[in-house]
Amino acid sequence: MFRDLESIFTKNFKNTILFYDENKTITLDDFKNDMCNFLNETKLIEDKTVCLYIPNNCYLFYVSFFALIFSNKDIVLLSSINEDIINNLISTSKTFVSTEAINLKNLEIKIIPPKAYYAKKDIDNNVFINTFDNLSKRTISFFTSGSTSTPKCINKTLSSLLVEVKMHSDSLSKILESNPIVISTIVPFHMYGMLWRFLFSFCNLLRQDLSTIFYPEELEHKQNIYEKLIFISTPSFMDRISSYTSLYNFKDNIVKIFSSGNLLKNETCSLINKTFNTEVYEIYGSTETGGIAYRNQRIDEYFHVFSEVKIKLNEDSSLNIESPFCVENPFKINDGVTLINDRTFLLNGRIDRIVKISDKRLSLPEMEEKFSKCQYIKECYLVKLFDNKREVLGAIFVLTDLGKEFVIKNGKKKLHIEIKKYINNFYDVSFFPRKFRILERIPKNSQGKILKDKIMELFKSKVSEPITFITTLTKDYFEADLVFLDSASYFEGHFPIFPILPGVMGLHFVFKYLSDYFSVSYSKCVISKLKYTNIISPNMRVCLKIKKVFDNEFIFEYTNNKETQYSSGKIIINE
């Protein structure tokens, strides 16, 4: 049941458990006390606007957020810190509430670290009386995660966020009656996380597990310790689950799964429905618009517009949105749709991804969909490139297991021919991608957004990824079979008669998988105990094992199935 902030902070909900933090339970009164303790500090801040950067502690984020709100501060939410961001914000605020040290030269900034006391004393609810009229006017600024390195700052009011949360709460009242515990793979400083992980849980007094899930075995563990769950996640995480369902014993105690950030693939959704015996509630929207529509693929493929939202079709088949959640009304969305009626539509992909190749129009999402139907291709992403001043297509291909086996046996050129034969059944030959890269997965951020800048870097690089068969992936361990194709540029000249994998390339891919699967930065790594004992030849199938032995230490080795070791070493992370 949705409750407004005034009710939550002024009425007595004695002994109401709000959070689970490892082995500790935190009640609403504990939370109010911690927030009031920090409120004494935030009231002394002179800046009207304060930057909030707490990337790794949800509870301190929640405490700090409400302490700033009750101090009548506007908040800028940050998911990362760099010099460009600080320089852009320094004219707005020189005060940061953060758990992190921010060391940037020539900048005068004040860091206020929040503290949580889990205070056990009776809270005086009168502290909060006569403050709520001002709260709703507070501005919350989000930096869109975006797909490039230049995110936009979007300003919302707390009032608009709460209106949206109430709408969702009212529509999901039957689920909320079962009093499930909220678990999540997303963080609260983006719009989706702020609405669903934080405010949706808080305003319905739902118990929330404060840890953020990064790996499937963590989800399996949460299912084993809690009776009923709501799972708030992303398409990219569910893709990962669907790839490794055979490795885990998932239960059917999740009452609802929420997904946003990108479209959930039909085959992934079907497998998730079957694995967890529950429905996935896909939310379509943006930071600028808030929620626009939802769908449940168990019922149909259409998106259904939320009750507070009105839509209108533009001449270019995009949508105009009017709603109390928008930064401006009407707001044009650059997604093409097929309108079924004024409350229902099919989503066709971004209008700005309709390009011209050889003076002919081409929808990249449509072509990606066709590629993904090829027996050799699991997923595809297309971009327009310039090759000698000529506009051409570049393709990122994620291969099926059949596609991987084909390219190992026959080589990239023959795979290229087979894919070309297939796609020429649907498109003019001039549309076929002139450049392509084979990857294990398409680069995406934590919100499931395609990282276009990373993809453009891949086309500039000449380094080919090995064909990868991941066999085990946990928070502490990675194991995969790798095949370094003989066509890879790093075999050229090393050596002409007897090519072998250069040791530096073996290390390169260790660092790559550390970055991709353990979020470890190369620049902070030191290598020790490095040994090379045997050579790796082109097209040889080898096994790479990476194990986390301490928080700042990993060991790795390249082996084969007969226990032959090719190389090994230790990687220490210097913070």
Q: How far is CA 353 from the centre of its chain?
A: 21
Alpha-carbon distance of 360 to 369, in angstroms, equals 19
Structure tokens given for 478: 């990675």
| Cα–Cα distances in angstroms (integers) from residue 458 to residues 39, 402, 504, in the given order | 47, 24, 19
Most confident of 228-237, 354-363, 442-451: 228-237
Is 440:398 a contact under the CB 8 Å cutoff?
Answer: yes
Residue of 383, 387, 386 lying closest to 395 (CA atoms): 383
CA–CA gap between residue 49 and residue 69 (Å, rounded): 10
C-alpha to C-alpha distance for 374 and 415, rounded to whole angstroms: 12
Q: What's the token pair of residue 105?
A: 């030269």
Cα distances (Å, whole numbers) of residue 281 to 218, 294, 300: 21, 7, 12
Indicate the pairing of strand 254-260 with strand 280-286.
parallel
Distance CA 195, CA 169 (A): 11
- 3-state SS, 323-385, equals CCCCCCCCEEEEEEEEEEECCEEEEEEEHHHEEEECCEEEEHHHHHHHHCCCCCEEEEEEEEE
Distances from the Cα of 212 to the Cα of 19, 183, 185, 193, angstroms: 13, 8, 5, 11
CB 309 within 8 Å of CB 292: yes
pLDDT of residue 149: 47
Task: Give, for 58, the enclosing helix (H) or strand (E).
Answer: helix 58-70
Nearest CA-CA partner of 365 in 282, 447, 262, 448: 262
Select the more confidently predicted residue: 495 or 309.
Answer: 309
User: What is the CB neighbour count within 10 angstroms for residue 429?
Assistant: 9
Q: Report the chain's mean pLDDT, rounded to a whole number.
A: 89
Distance CA 231, CA 196 (A): 10
β 49-53/95-98 pair status: parallel
Is the Cα torsion angle 101, 104, 108, 109 positive or negative in sign? Answer: negative
Q: Tokens representing 540? A: 């040889």
Query: Which amino acid would we find at residue 225?
Result: I
Q: What single-letter amino acid sits at 76?
A: V
pLDDT at 126 over 90: no
Q: What are phi and psi of 25, to 5 degrees?
A: -110, 140
Please, what's the largest Cα pairwise distance for the chain?
Answer: 83
pLDDT band at 346 (very low <50, low <70, confident <90, very high): very high
Q: Give the pLDDT band (50/70/90) at residue 140.
A: very high
Residue 148's pLDDT is 44
Contact status, residue 536 vs residue 542, Cβ threshold 8 Å? yes
- Confidence check: pLDDT of 465 > 80: yes
From 280, 258, 135, select the one nearest 196 (Cα to Cα). Answer: 258
pLDDT for residue 144: 72
Q: 49-53 and 74-77 as β-strands: parallel, antiparallel, unpaired? A: parallel
- Give bridge partners of residue 208 from the DSSP assignment: 19, 182
Contact, 525 vs 514, CB < 8 A?
A: yes
3-class state of residue 72 by DSSP: coil
Least confident of 135-149, 170-184, 193-207: 135-149
Residue 436, pLDDT > 70, answer yes
Listed residue (29, 205, 208) closest to 117, CA to CA: 29
For the whole model, what pTM was predicted? Answer: 0.83
For 398, the enclosing helix (H) or strand (E) is strand 390-399
Q: What's CA 152's distance to the chain center, in Å?
A: 17
- What is the distance between the alpha carbons of residues 572 and 568, in angstroms, rounded to a whole number? 14
Distance CA 278, CA 258 (A): 11
**pLDDT for the residue numbered 191:** 92
3-state secondary structure of 34: helix
Q: Is the dihedral of CA 265, 267, 272, 277 positive or negative?
A: positive
Q: Are 70 and 31 in contact (CB under 8 A)?
A: no
Q: Cβ-count burial of 8 within 10 angstroms (0-12 exposed, 13-18 middle, 19+ buried)?
A: buried
Residue 147: what pLDDT? Answer: 44
Answer yes or no: are the C-beta atoms of 482 and 505 closer than 8 Å: no
Q: Which pLDDT band holds residue 104 (cuts at 50, 70, 90)?
A: low
In the beta sheet, which residues pair with residue 336?
Answer: 318, 349
Other beta carbons within 10 Å of 220: 16
At 478 the three-state DSSP class reads strand
Nearest to 104 by CA among 126, 92, 89: 89
Q: Where is mean pLDDT largest: 353-367, 371-385, 519-533?
A: 371-385
Separation CA 7–CA 140 (nearest Å): 21
Where residue 204 falls (left for φ over 0; alpha for ψ -120 to 50; beta otherwise) is: alpha
pLDDT in tens, 163-190: 999 999 999 988 888 899 999 999 999 9
What pLDDT score was predicted for residue 381? 95
Q: How far is CA 103 from CA 73, 94, 95, 115, 517, in A?
A: 24, 13, 14, 21, 27
124 has pLDDT over 80: no
- Weakest mean pLDDT among 165-169, 239-243, 508-512: 239-243
Phi, psi of 110 (to 5 degrees): -110, 125
